[in-house]
Amino acid sequence: MKNLVYINGNGHLNKAAFEVVTYAKKLGGEVTVLASGKMDSSLLSSLGAYGATEVVINRGITGNDDQQIAAWIATKTTGVDNIVFSHDFQGKAIAPRLSVRLKAGLIAGAVSLPEADGSVKVNVFSGKAFGFVKAHSAQRIISLLPNSIAPEESGTSCPVAEITEEMGAPTVRVLSVKKPEGAIPLPEAEMVVSAGRGLKGPEHWGMIESLANSLGAATACSRPVADIGWRPHHEHVGQTGVAIRPNLYIAVGISGAIQHLAGVNGSKVIVVVNTDAEAPFFKAADYGVVGDAFEVIPKLTEAIHKFKAAQ
């Protein structure tokens, strides 16, 4: 079996890269990682530990242009059985292109390894159900939902080949990049602390940030909170916002409307803090605290500090 994995070779090696390499390794056989960008070869060679047989980085592609990247990947697919992407902004753009180019079935949003019958489990209905998808083509493209499998280190480093294949000028020109300072990107976060209208006003978010900081978690919010402008739009989670699936989701002062749940119910463990014992969110929760956030959250933050100090 021959597997290809694409990762973004700009910035740092993120968790998504370790996940896709681990996934490809578990499919069995060789794993060739294709990367584009400026990343140092010594960094890339560490992907060997997660199961990469070799890494090939194309220095001729420096941006995020999916047309160029898909065209380049297509030249490396002879004899390849599976091509694995992360279901992130790049995977969502490159994988569909490659599917059309190669006439290879795309399994988008995979959450686990293939079943015995060759079908792959994917997330559907915004987390309310799973589907099992089969590709009918000889080659198969899989884009893996972030936080679906745990990265596993087993081997050592692997060889890295640096090549320069020019793919022409990118059609999409990047003018600037805006990154919120220091914040943990929501889709990648393993822990998320989120708050809703129950907090009454933006001036009360300090305690949510303190709780998030105590855990090393990202912050999020319900839609009305972003709509009124209490919090930035990129924090809005739910059906019409960002969909997340962290290990831990703490929801404070959020009622748990179905549209909110649609974006968060893939979380492994959900903690709900709400004054109303009848709030629908409790039905989707693993742990619940019926109480006033203004009292409970400072206490919880303190308890976490105490726990961390004792570790």
Partner 1 sequence: MKILVCISKAPDTTSKIAFTNNNSAFDENGVQYIVNPYDEWYALVRALEIKETSGANVTIITVGTAADEAIMRKALAIGADEAVRVDAEPTDAFMVASEISNYAKTQGFDLVLTGKETINFNGAQLGGMIAEGLNSPYISIASKLDVTGTMLTLEREITGGVEVVEVSLPAVVSCAKGMAEQRIPNMRGIMAARTKPLHVLAPTVTEALTSYVTFASTPAKSGVKLIDPNNMDELVSLLHNEAKVI
Ligand X SMILES: Cc1cc2nc3c(=O)[nH]c(=O)nc-3n(C[C@H](O)[C@H](O)[C@H](O)COP(=O)(O)OP(=O)(O)OC[C@H]3O[C@@H](n4cnc5c(N)ncnc54)[C@H](O)[C@@H]3O)c2cc1C
Q: Do 299 and 280 contact (CB within 8 A), yes or no?
A: no
By rule CB under 6 A, what string of x and - marks binding of each residue 196-215 to ligand X? xxx-----------------
Interaction with partner 1 in 41-80: which residues (CB under 8 A)?
A: 64-67, 70
Q: What is d(CA 308, CA 112) in angstroms, rounded to the nearest whole number?
A: 32
Residue type, 227: D
φ/ψ of 243, rounded to 5, equals -100, 130
**Residues in contact with ligand X, total (CB under 6 A)?**
26
If one asks whether residue 272 binds partner 1 (CB under 8 A), the answer comes out as yes
**DSSP conformational letter for 183:** P
Instruction: State yes or no: residue 274 binds ligand X (CB under 6 A).
Output: yes
Instruction: List the structure tokens of 138.
Output: 């000889």
The site string for ligand X over 220-259 (x = CB under 6 A, - otherwise) reads --xxxx------------xxxx-----------xxx-x-x
Calculate ∠ Cα 155-158-162, nearest 5°: 160
Nearest Cα to Cα of residue 248 among 303, 211, 280: 211
- Which position among 116, 169, 175, 309 is part of the footprint of partner 1 (CB under 8 A)? 175
Mapping DSSP to helix (H, G, I), strand (E, B) and coil, where does residue 92 land?
helix
Q: Which does 213 bind (CB under 5 to 8 A by kind): ligand X, partner 1, none?
A: none
**Residue 290 is a binding residue for partner 1 (CB under 8 A):** yes
Q: Which is nearer to ligand X, 145 or 254 (CB)?
A: 254
Of 114 and 238, which CB lies nearer to ligand X in the complex structure?
A: 238
Does 171 sit near partner 1 (CB under 8 A)?
A: yes
169 binds partner 1 (CB under 8 A): no
Helix or strand or coil: residue 104? coil
Where does this chain touch partner 1 (CB under 8 A) — which range of 34-42, 44-52, 199-207, 254-262? Answer: 254-262
75 three-class SS: coil
Give the whole-angstrom CA distance, residue 149 versus residue 92.
18
Under the rule (CB under 6 A), what is the footprint of ligand X?
196-198, 222-225, 238-241, 253-255, 257, 259-260, 263, 273-276, 279, 292-294
